Structure 1
Amino acid sequence: MHGKTTYVDRNDVAKALEVLKAGGIILYPTDTIWGIGCDATNPEAVEKVFALKGRDQAKSMILLLHNENQLASYVNDIPDVAYELIEVTDRPLTIIYSQSKNLPASTVAADGSVAIRVADHPFCQQLLQRFRKPIISTSANLSGQSSPANFSEIDVAIIEGVDYVVEFGQHDMKSQKPSMIMKLGSGGQFEFIRK
């Protein structure tokens, strides 16, 4: 975690965890922009996120994991270069893997690929570590609107539409950007989708 010593309220994590386990949706800070999240393995919860955003279900969403060791549970073929890229990147990096497994259809693209990021963020790390499953992370905006740079820019419809709003990071006014997105082929070839 690059030596981050930011205090995270255990109660805040516990409340978010409770909502995730109950199939609810949360509004939470990530290593990039604020996200709407849920249990990525729960199709009903994923459905709620699509409905809240008004998002086309053909557009898949990003999954967050606690560490790269979890990748093998959700990706069939992980090229060695994936681990190297995760290790050396100095910016949040979402990698699209060609063959997902153990995930509901609503979390993967039509071609079976899945977008995953190992989140390097104090709140996310604690939440993901305790939840032990992937969490959906999609930008905290209504479909068609621009992504919020910080909490103050999030539409009230989103805030009122989730089951829990995380306290951590609400007062951080620093502008955040979405992650880089890279598509990784089974042979290790890759292309940038978003830099």
Structure 2
Amino acid sequence: MAELIKIYNENPSEKEIQKVVKVLKKGGLVIYPTDTVYGLGCDIKNTSALEKVARIKGVKLEKANFSFICEDLSNLSEYVAQIDSNTFKILKRNLPGPYTFILPGNNNLPAVFKKKKTVGIRVPDNAISQAIVNHLGNPIISTSIKDEDEVIEYTTDPELIKEKWDKLVDVVIDGGFGGNVASTIIDLTLEEPVLVREGKGSIDI
């Protein structure tokens, strides 16, 4: 049974954040709010947790396109190869924000992602996800929790999310109603930015 933990985005309780971090460090799975839709995530350094997420999503871990939730741009150099000043300016201008930017990965990527040439980076404009990453000390992976309903693509109510994911995850954070439009994905690995998916973030970057 998943635990539903209420955390306020305006002033996240350190005690509750630490509770979530403890679960992540033990290899637990957490559903948490971002500045777009609710995400399913785990500690990127915990391979068995990563495998659990891949199983839930029905993908092979080494082929999974999970994005990394970072606290800010200072996390970048840990997993991203050197980028030019123009790319950095785009990131600085739009993050934190509702974007996933695809960037060239480097050799520090977790072992299971070593074959990947790129990494999706997210810095949500959300105090809860930023606090989790800050206290954990490294990024968490993120994948959107889609709904099977043909009308509703994303569930926005944390209590309904808990009902549905109760047996699959360890914690559902209630950070209030989530959005129902995912992040805009932009590939910055080529000469010009390429729009992969239009979402909440403006495509005029």
Shorter-chain TM-score: which interval?
0.7 to 0.9
Amino acid at match of 2:192: Q
1:180, 1:194 within 8 Å by CA — same for their partners in 2?
yes
Distance 1:142 1:52, change over 3 A: farther
In the alignment, the residues of structure 2 paired with residue 84 and residue 67 of structure 1 have an alpha-carbon distance, to the nearest angstrom, of: 14
- Aligned Cα RMSD in Å? 2.7
1:1-195 correspondence runs (5 A): 6-57=10-61, 58-89=63-94, 91-107=97-113, 111-141=116-146, 146-151=153-158, 154=161, 156-169=163-176, 173=177, 175-185=179-189, 188-195=191-198
2:33, 2:173 within 8 Å by CA — same for their partners in 1?
yes
SS of the aligned residue for 2:167 comes to: helix
1:183, 1:193 within 8 Å by CA — same for their partners in 2?
yes
Distance 1:79 1:43, change over 3 A: farther
Normalised by the length of structure 1, the TM-score is 0.82
Normalised by the length of structure 2, the TM-score is 0.78
In the alignment, the residues of structure 1 paired with residue 79 and residue 43 of structure 2 have an alpha-carbon distance, to the nearest angstrom, of: 14
Q: Aligned-pair distance for 1:121?
A: 0.4
In structure 1, stretches of 5+ residues that fail to align are none
1:136-167 deviations in whole A, cap 9, x for unaligned? 11112378983334435537342331111223
In the alignment, the residues of structure 1 paired with residue 189 and residue 14 of structure 2 have an alpha-carbon distance, to the nearest angstrom, of: 39
In the alignment, the residues of structure 2 paired with residue 70 and residue 99 of structure 1 have an alpha-carbon distance, to the nearest angstrom, of: 13
In structure 2, stretches of 5+ residues that fail to align are 1-8, 199-205
Amino acid at match of 2:90: L
In the alignment, the residues of structure 1 paired with residue 27 and residue 58 of structure 2 have an alpha-carbon distance, to the nearest angstrom, of: 19
1:34, 1:140 within 8 Å by CA — same for their partners in 2?
yes
Distance 1:96 1:105, change over 3 A: farther
Distance 1:112 1:130, change over 3 A: same
SS of the aligned residue for 1:160 comes to: coil
1:182, 1:194 within 8 Å by CA — same for their partners in 2?
yes
Report the identity percentage. Answer: 29
1:75-124 deviations in whole A, cap 9, x for unaligned? 1122323332223228411111123331225457x542110112220101
2:67, 2:122 within 8 Å by CA — same for their partners in 1?
yes
In the alignment, the residues of structure 1 paired with residue 192 and residue 140 of structure 2 have an alpha-carbon distance, to the nearest angstrom, of: 27
Amino acid at match of 2:92: E
